[in-house]
Amino acid sequence: MAIRLEKGQRINLEKTNGSKLEKFFVGCNWGALKTGRKVEVVDSEGFFGIGRKSHWVDEEVDLDLDLSCIMLDENGNLVDTLYSPLYNGRIYPVHFANRIPGLPKGSDWSADRSMYHTPDDTEGDKGGDDGLDNEIVTVDLTKVNSRIHQIFFFLDVFSPKGVDFSKIPYAAIRMCEYEGSQTDVKRVTNVFAQYDIAKESEYAGKNALILGKLYRHNGEWKFAAIGDAHNHSDGKLPNSNLAITIQKILTSYAK
């Protein structure tokens, strides 16, 4: 049975057989936006309109969320980052301009090769929850640099503009064991914990969500579900400003 996490809950990474969870992924599953309108889907055109068959479904539009991480040292200083390579300072140069000096371009891998970010999902699930994670970060805690003491996971709405977490039909993160390699997850073998991000009224107007953190405590790794939302827009940019989310974590959660 997976642990169902509540906001603010802290857990040990001990499995039911007593061993430690070390190699797993943190995945995020979310649904595309519903517009509230219906669209007709034609099943069969028939013959000159005779015998035409169709049905109506909820109209959905792409929802691009981005799952990202930062890795901090014992004193809460930024050591490494893990976010889509599309945040490269070329396509979106304004994201990092003067916000946090030295914030690197996006990378698939953490510098210590302990964490890998799978490709960007730009749509969300269409036609209902498929039960699969749309973006994944694979983690091997045995490879994490000893300097790293906290690893934060967060989610930013990239597009469309104006969407906040109160409008997203569902979103959840989960920690799973899997078959396959760190860059190629084949199959989930064990869902260790799941955290459903409930649609809360406090999420209205908020387009970034600090999900939780892995952290060292007395030589052991633990996980804390945070679930705090904020607004990463500064009124100037067309889309998400990841740097604002990172700055928020560094100032409000790192110490």
Which residues sit at the interface with Ca ion, rule CB under 5 A?
A: 29, 64, 66, 120-121, 125, 130, 132, 134
Q: State in angstroms the smallest separation of the CB of 176 from Ca ion.
A: 13
Cβ proximity to Ca ion: between 32 and 141 the closer is: 32
Cβ proximity to Ca ion: between 149 and 206 the closer is: 206
Residue 80 corresponds to which tokens in the numbers above?
């490494």
Cβ proximity to Ca ion: between 30 and 203 the closer is: 30
Cβ proximity to Ca ion: between 174 and 206 the closer is: 174
Q: State in angstroms the smallest separation of the CB of 121 from Ca ion.
A: 5
Q: State in angstroms the smallest separation of the CB of 218 from Ca ion.
A: 36
Q: Which residue has the tokens 């914990």?
A: 193
Residue 31 corresponds to which tokens in the numbers above?
């649904």
Q: State in angstroms the smallest separation of the CB of 119 from Ca ion.
A: 9
Q: State in angstroms the smallest separation of the CB of 192 from Ca ion.
A: 18
Cβ proximity to Ca ion: between 80 and 120 the closer is: 120
- In 3D space, the residue among 86, 63, 82 whose CA is nearest the CA of residue 164 turns out to be 63
Cβ proximity to Ca ion: between 31 and 149 the closer is: 31
Q: State in angstroms the smallest separation of the CB of 158 from Ca ion.
A: 6
- In 3D space, the residue among 228, 46, 222 whose CA is nearest the CA of residue 151 turns out to be 222
Cβ proximity to Ca ion: between 29 and 150 the closer is: 29
Q: What do you get for the CA distance between the two ends of the chain, in Å? A: 33
Other beta carbons within 10 angstroms of residue 93's beta carbon come to 9
Q: State in angstroms the smallest separation of the CB of 132 from Ca ion.
A: 4
The DSSP result for 165-224, as a single string, is TTS-S-EEEEEEEEEEETTEEEEEEEEEEEEE----GGGTT--EEEEEEEEEETTEEEEE
DSSP 8-state class, residue 38: E
* CA dist 121 → 164, 167, 224, 235 (Å): 18, 18, 25, 25
Helix, strand or coil, per DSSP, at residue 246: helix
